């Protein structure tokens, strides 16, 4: 019996007992992308349940890509085709017992081991996405990988299968599971990806040619460049440096360390919702990994697109908003934060920059720290002190946290009426002058601002 047929029986049972039935969704098999099994899914109570039949797989001897023929199977055959032994356990509804047909599932669960039911080379070629699933489970639960599994991860044909057979959407979904969720340990996950030379497989660089990326606030023209082959080493170093910074802050238990837990809007109207610590951590981790690529762009539809933006949007298929945020952090702003951190603090300059990036300013500052420590070799201790001072200045000394929510004392219409201006660049310049004046003189009144504008 197929999963869809069994789901229909469940709905019939619900009807017979006067309960509400639910629509059954069918997730089609896609062997070309190593999705071999059709799955029926439906809601029961407050949760969702997947229904699949027991399966066995056979391979033709001359089949180049190992796309299997699916057959109904026994519990043992089905268990052997699962990804890991800890996921191959069955619960018998009739006997109310856990059944371990591989003979290793309960032991591996008890001792915390990630092991495949069959030879890991077979399991990984069956569905190469399991390579990433192994890393996700190992990092999340702090389970070691079985030695034969580690050996398989280092095989070139396994890496090639992951590149060629698995859709980018599925890769992105596994990466999201490594970065967020209960007990997620993104630092360990990135460490494993780096150890097994998979960072450039997950964060796949688009096809070139590549150009030097010039942020919007500069007038320089892009020039053709090459991306260093060792960029993944710098990426891992960035993640390690970020983790060390986070541990340092945790040990200090300082109330001065800001956190981004709000949803707000920049002065440009760009939404910068971070939705709490989890999303902030995800954003920071992505930005840290892609920091070595911050100064590169690629042509897309005749436009220069930051390589980091292309990777987030196309390689791991994350949301456009997340790609925008990573680009904002990793490309347009972090070096501007380097500049303000290395100069005497000026409330207007700092305030305008923080106002521009909104609630993401702390992420930008962290990336600026990584630029100095990882890319420029600045001493860690001095960099920590420098960016702690910047944080204290923004949040306490200058009271600039949430400055992006500050309203101008004169709006554009009032500026035009007061100065007899027509719509155009001059109005924007005056609007900017209003904000700058309010930053310089926090207690200024509307009349003060008007007097200042008239005097310009």
Per-residue pLDDT of the chain (456 residues; tens, 9 = 90+): 888 889 999 999 989 999 888 888 887 766 555 445 678 999 888 888 998 888 887 655 444 445 566 778 899 999 999 999 999 999 998 999 999 999 999 999 999 999 999 999 999 998 999 999 999 999 999 999 999 999 999 999 999 999 999 999 999 999 999 999 889 999 999 999 999 999 999 999 999 899 987 655 555 677 899 999 999 999 999 999 999 999 999 988 655 545 444 444 454 444 444 456 778 889 999 999 999 999 999 988 888 899 999 999 999 999 999 999 998 787 789 999 999 999 999 999 999 999 999 999 999 999 999 999 999 999 999 999 999 999 999 999 999 999 999 999 998 888 898 888 888 888 899 999 999 999 999 999 999 999 998 888
Give the other-Cβ count within 10 Å of 128's Cβ. 25
Residue 172's pLDDT is 97
Closest to 335 in 3D by CA, of 388, 372, 307: 372
Residue 379's pLDDT is 97
Closest to 115 in 3D by CA, of 77, 88, 75: 88
Q: What residues contact 342, with CB distance under 8 A and at least 6 apart?
A: 386
Residue 370's pLDDT is 97
Residue 216's pLDDT is 54
Residue 253's pLDDT is 63
Residue 432's pLDDT is 92
Residue 455's pLDDT is 86
Distance of CA 456 to the CA centre of its chain: 46
Distance CA 342, CA 330 (A): 18
CATH class of 54-202: mainly alpha
What is the DSSP annotation of 18-36? TPPP---EEE--BGGGTB-
Distance CA 85, CA 82 (A): 7
- In angstroms, the Cα distances linking 34 to 148, 162, 171, 436 are 22, 10, 12, 57
Residue 341's pLDDT is 97
Sequence spans of domains, the chain:
54-202, 210-402, 412-455
Q: How many CA atoms lie within 13 A of 238 on its CB side?
A: 27
Residue 29's pLDDT is 62
Residue 31's pLDDT is 53
Residue 271's pLDDT is 47
Distance CA 363, CA 455 (A): 38
Residue 270's pLDDT is 47
- In angstroms, the Cα distances linking 339 to 254, 381, 386, 396 are 25, 18, 11, 20
Distance CA 134, CA 393 (A): 44
Residue 46's pLDDT is 84
């Amino acid at each position: 019996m197929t999963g869809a047929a069994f789901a229909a029986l469940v709905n019939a049972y619900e009807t017979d007992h006067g309960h509400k039935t639910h629509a059954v969704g069918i997730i089609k098999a896609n062997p070309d992308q190593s999705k071999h099994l059709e799955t029926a899914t439906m809601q029961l109570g407050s949760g969702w349940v997947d229904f699949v039949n027991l399966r066995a797989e056979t391979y033709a001897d001359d089949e180049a890509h190992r796309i299997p023929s699916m057959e109904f199977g026994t519990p043992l055959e089905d268990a052997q085709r699962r990804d890991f032994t800890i996921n191959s356990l069955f619960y018998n509804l009739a006997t109310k017992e856990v059944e371990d047909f591989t003979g290793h599932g309960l032991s591996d669960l008890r001792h915390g081991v990630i092991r495949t039911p069959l030879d890991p080379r077979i399991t990984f070629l069956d569905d190469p996405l399991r390579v990433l699933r192994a890393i996700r489970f190992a990092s999340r639960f702090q389970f070691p990988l079985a030695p034969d599994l580690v050996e398989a991860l280092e095989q070139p044909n396994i890496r090639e299968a992951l590149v060629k057979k698995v859709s980018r959407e599925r890769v992105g979904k596994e990466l999201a599971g490594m970065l967020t969720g209960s007990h997620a340990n993104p630092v360990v996950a990135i460490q494993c990806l780096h150890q097994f030379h998979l960072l450039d497989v997950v964060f796949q660089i688009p096809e070139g040619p590549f150009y030097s990326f010039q942020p919007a606030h500069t007038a320089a023209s892009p020039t053709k460049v090459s991306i260093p082959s060792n960029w993944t080493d710098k990426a891992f170093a960035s993640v390690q440096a970020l983790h060390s910074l986070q541990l340092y802050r945790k040990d200090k238990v300082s109330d001065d360390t800001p956190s981004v837990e709000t949803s707000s809007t920049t002065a440009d109207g760009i939404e910068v919702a971070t939705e709490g610590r989890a999303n902030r951590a995800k954003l920071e981790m992505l930005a840290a990994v892609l920091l070595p690529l911050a100064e590169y762009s690629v042509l897309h539809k005749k436009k220069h697109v930051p390589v980091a933006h292309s990777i987030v949007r196309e390689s791991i298929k994350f949301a456009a908003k997340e790609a925008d945020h990573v680009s904002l952090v990793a490309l347009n702003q972090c070096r501007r934060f380097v500049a303000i951190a290395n100069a005497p603090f000026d409330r207007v300059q700092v305030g305008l920059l923080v106002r521009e990036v909104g609630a993401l300013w702390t992420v930008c500052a962290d990336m600026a720290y990584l630029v100095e420590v990882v890319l420029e070799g600045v001493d860690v201790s001095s960099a920590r002190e420098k960016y702690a001072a910047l944080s204290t200045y923004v949040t306490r000394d200058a009271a600039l946290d949430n400055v992006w929510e500050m309203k101008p004392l004169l709006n554009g219409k009032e500026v035009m009426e007061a100065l007899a201006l027509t719509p155009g660049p001059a109005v924007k310049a005056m609007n900017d002058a209003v904000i700058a004046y309010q930053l310089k003189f926090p207690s200024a009144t509307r009349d003060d601002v008007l007097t200042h504008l008239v005097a310009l």
